[in-house]
Chains A and B, each alone.
Chain A
């Protein structure tokens, strides 16, 4: 069974640009969560999608947005990039959003560098 796939793995952008990251969950998983990982702030929850609906949202500015498609694939977008947005962005999938006992399965992340 294929794992969670994130693309691109690495990317470099400049301040003010925007970026779109993609995540394909494990087959059959309908919940996709996004996290930002930085050395200073650790792992911070961005948002979670289930059946194309945003179910939870972390404490990030509106420049961070996401969506989920009918095939459960998800994208997140960051507009007007700032230097502080440089981070590893991790996507995780799980089978049910109401199955809160379930663990998350993580992709290998997209490492964004903002210059």
Chain B
């Protein structure tokens, strides 16, 4: 069975500092991995995805994520956090033989000025 875990419910960083939101996955075969962001009372917005190729994926709003097959991780990163990055972040996984996308529990990121 496929699953994705976000070990931190909450991440706090100061504006201007780098941020990391962690994600690990468990899926048979080669996974397709995604990051989404959700602002209050809104739907989810796509940030980036890993399908194949370069392990470092660049996405929207300056975010990037690193795929690590040996550690089965797909951590979201940004070199310099903004207050406006404060939101709920979801990691998602989809096995390469099924269209069922499964989401992690979410990590609430708070960036303080």
Chain A residues with CB under 8 Å of chain B are 4, 31, 33, 35, 42-43, 45, 48, 50, 55-56, 58, 90, 92, 97-98, 100-101, 103-109, 111
Contact at B102–A45, with CB atoms within 8 Å? yes
Q: Quick one: CB contact mask for B75-109 with A, threshold 8 Å, 1 for yes?
A: 00000000000000010001111111111111000
Give the number of residue pairs across the A-B interface with Cβ within 8 Å. Answer: 58
Contact at A108–B46, with CB atoms within 8 Å? no
Q: Check B63 for interface membership: any CB of A closer than 8 A.
A: no
Contact at A56–B44, with CB atoms within 8 Å? no
Chain B interface size, as a band, is: 20 to 34
Instruction: Name the distance in Å between B98's Cβ and chain A's nearest Cβ.
Output: 7
Contact at B45–A106, with CB atoms within 8 Å? yes
Contacts of A55 in B (CB 8 A): 99
Q: Which of chain A's residues has its CB closest to B50's CB? A: A101
With A45-B101, A101-B49 known, 16 other A-B pairs at CB within 8 A are A35-B103, A42-B104, A42-B106, A43-B90, A43-B106, A56-B98, A56-B100, A100-B95, A100-B98, A101-B51, A104-B34, A104-B101, A106-B43, A106-B45, A108-B42, A111-B41
Contact at B99–A56, with CB atoms within 8 Å? yes
Which positions 1-58 of chain B face chain A at CB distance < 8 Å? 32, 34, 36, 41-46, 49, 51
Q: Which of A31, A42, A109 contacts B43 (CB 8 A)?
A: A109
Q: Which of A43, A90, A98 contacts B99 (CB 8 A)?
A: A98
Contacts of A111 in B (CB 8 A): 41
Contact at B103–A43, with CB atoms within 8 Å? yes
In the assembled complex, the Cα of A58 lies from the Cα of B105 at a distance in Å of 16
Q: Which of chain B's residues has its CB closest to A35's CB? A: B103
Contact at B32–A101, with CB atoms within 8 Å? yes
Contact at B43–A103, with CB atoms within 8 Å? no
